[in-house]
């Protein structure tokens, strides 16, 4: 498929861009909720506005009230979220959790709330400082008609405000996913403020859940988890592209305004070369991300590798954008008054979410036989 948006996708992008700029700006959302110490880190009223525009139903099938669109469209919204650093549960709820619940009885239970912007979901996979889903140690032991979940999870984005958590645990038959409701017996949640001001959670599980909590088949969680993580990684890559693009735009604007030695610093050729290089890197990342989304929508066997390429490339390009941005802004780039530093903080969180560049480079190498 060509690496550009269709007419309908362009209209969606324009709608999302206008909405995020007007309602999801840094001043009205990120700074506001951060500065008042909001326990959720985002505005529930804004989440309902997402629903009113249909964003929360992008990946939900039409038969269940959604739009029945694909990962390209979800990525369009996420890129605009990245541009504005808009705090929302869109990535983990409307992308990752929706994929996890798709085609199961849990979809009927939770999709209506997601469509209405009333339900927040989270994904509990990581158990160590780094993303290593193949090393899940949390156990799920049969107990009567259910399972006893035992273990700890960390870096659970939106976990503190989630109504339902998709949990990956290891049963005797293999990795199994569970839908654990807020307030479940034996679930202890500790909210943690992340580097970018958003709220994650550490979770401790030591209780029994009903057998109905199983998502899919017992022992069949690896395939579902791979699909969920693929969706999450492609979404995170799209958000990183939006973040990096906006950081670059802010920096170029600053180069056109700041004077030094009697000249605009943007007239210095060395800075022009660096800006041009950054632009090229971001365009490569955008193309890789769009290709990954297209392959996911096609259910292509090449999707998994391309998603890792996109996540690694988007992470590298975004990191370059925020580093160059802070450096070219000079000392003021380190102050909280200027937004460029907020982009650097968000970049660091997104880079780690669902695996950093080193993880995905290694993953691609292994898939290619190295």
Of the CA atoms within 13 Å of residue 14, those in its CB half-sphere come to: 7
pLDDT score, position 254: 86
Q: Cα separation of 24 and 20, whole Å?
A: 4
Checking if the pLDDT of 350 tops 90, the result is yes
pLDDT category at 271 given cuts 50, 70, 90 is: confident
pLDDT category at 270 given cuts 50, 70, 90 is: confident
What's the chain's average pLDDT? Answer: 95
pLDDT score, position 102: 97
pLDDT score, position 105: 96
Q: Cα separation of 367 and 226, whole Å?
A: 14
Tokens coding 36: 């008042």
CATH 1.10.540.10 residue ranges for the chain: 7-120
Tokens coding 262: 């009697």
Percent with pLDDT over 70 in the chain: 100
Q: How many Cβ atoms are within 10 Å of 128's Cβ, its own excluded?
A: 11
Superfamily of domain 222-367: Butyryl-CoA Dehydrogenase, subunit A, domain 3 (1.20.140.10)
Give 274-293 pLDDT, tens digit per residue.
999 999 999 999 999 999 99
Give 199-254 pLDDT, tens digit per residue.
999 999 999 899 999 999 999 999 999 999 999 999 999 999 999 999 999 999 88
CATH 1.20.140.10 residue ranges for the chain: 222-367
Give 36-76 pLDDT, tens digit per residue.
999 999 999 999 999 999 999 999 999 999 999 999 999 99
State the pTM of this model. Answer: 0.96
pLDDT category at 328 given cuts 50, 70, 90 is: confident
Of the CA atoms within 13 Å of residue 102, those in its CB half-sphere come to: 23
Does domain 123-218 match CATH 2.40.110.10? yes
Checking if the pLDDT of 267 tops 80, the result is no
Give 87-115 pLDDT, tens digit per residue.
999 999 999 999 999 999 999 999 999 99
Checking if the pLDDT of 259 tops 80, the result is no
Checking if the pLDDT of 363 tops 90, the result is yes
Mean pLDDT, rounded, for 303-319: 98
Mean pLDDT, rounded, for 347-355: 97
CATH architecture of 7-120: Orthogonal Bundle (1.10)
Give 11-45 pLDDT, tens digit per residue.
999 999 999 999 999 999 999 999 999 999 999 99
pLDDT score, position 213: 96
pLDDT score, position 125: 98
Give 147-158 pLDDT, tens digit per residue.
999 999 999 999
Checking if the pLDDT of 300 tops 90, the result is yes
Give 115-140 pLDDT, tens digit per residue.
999 999 999 999 999 999 999 999 99
Closest CA to 339 of 13, 25, 16, 90: 25
Helix boundaries (H) for 85-170: 98-101, 105-115
> Quick check: 198 and 87 in contact, CB under 8 A?
yes
With the C-alpha atoms ordered 348, 351, 355, 358, is the resulting torsion angle positive or negative? Answer: negative
CATH 2.40.110.10 residue ranges for the chain: 123-218
> Quick check: 211 and 82 in contact, CB under 8 A?
no
């Amino acid at each position: 498929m060509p690496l550009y948006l269709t007419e309908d996708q362009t209209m969606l992008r324009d709608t999302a861009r206008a909405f995020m700029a007007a309602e999801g700006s840094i001043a009205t959302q990120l700074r506001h909720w951060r500065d008042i110490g909001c326990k959720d880190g985002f505005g529930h009223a804004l989440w309902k506005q997402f629903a009113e525009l249909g964003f929360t139903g992008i990946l939900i099938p039409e038969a269940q009230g959604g739009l029945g669109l694909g990962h390209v469209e979800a990525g369009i919204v996420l890129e605009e979220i990245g541009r504005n650093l808009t705090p929302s549960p869109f990535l983990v709820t409307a992308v990752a959790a929706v994929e996890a619940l798709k085609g199961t009885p849990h979809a009927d239970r939770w999709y209506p709330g997601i469509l209405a912007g009333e339900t927040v979901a989270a994904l509990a996979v990581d158990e160590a400082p780094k993303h290593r889903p193949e090393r899940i140690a949390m156990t799920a032991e049969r107990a009567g008609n259910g399972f006893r979940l035992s273990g700890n999870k960390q870096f659970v984005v939106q976990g503190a405000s989630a109504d339902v958590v998709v949990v990956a645990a290891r049963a005797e038959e293999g990795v199994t996913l569970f839908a654990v409701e807020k307030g479940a017996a034996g679930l202890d949640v500790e909210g943690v403020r992340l580097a970018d001001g958003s709220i994650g959670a550490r979770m401790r599980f030591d209780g029994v859940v009903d057998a109905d909590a199983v998502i899919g088949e017992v022992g069949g969680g690896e395939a579902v988890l791979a699909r969920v993580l693929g969706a999450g990684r492609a979404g995170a890559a799209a958000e990183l592209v939006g973040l990096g693009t906006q950081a670059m735009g802010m920096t170029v604007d600053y180069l056109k305004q700041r004077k030094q030695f009697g000249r605009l610093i943007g007239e210095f050729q060395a800075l022009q070369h660096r800006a041009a290089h950054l632009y090229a890197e971001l365009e490569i990342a955008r193309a890789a991300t769009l290709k990954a989304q297209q392959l996911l929508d096609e259910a292509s066997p090449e999707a998994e590798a391309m998603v890792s390429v996109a996540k690694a490339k988007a992470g590298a390009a975004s990191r370059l954008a925020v580093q160059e941005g802070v450096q070219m802004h000079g000392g003021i780039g380190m102050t909280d008054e200027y937004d460029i530093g907020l982009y650097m903080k968000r970049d660091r969180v997104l880079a780690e979410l669902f695996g950093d560049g080193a993880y995905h480079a290694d993953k691609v190498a292994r898939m290619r036989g190295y």
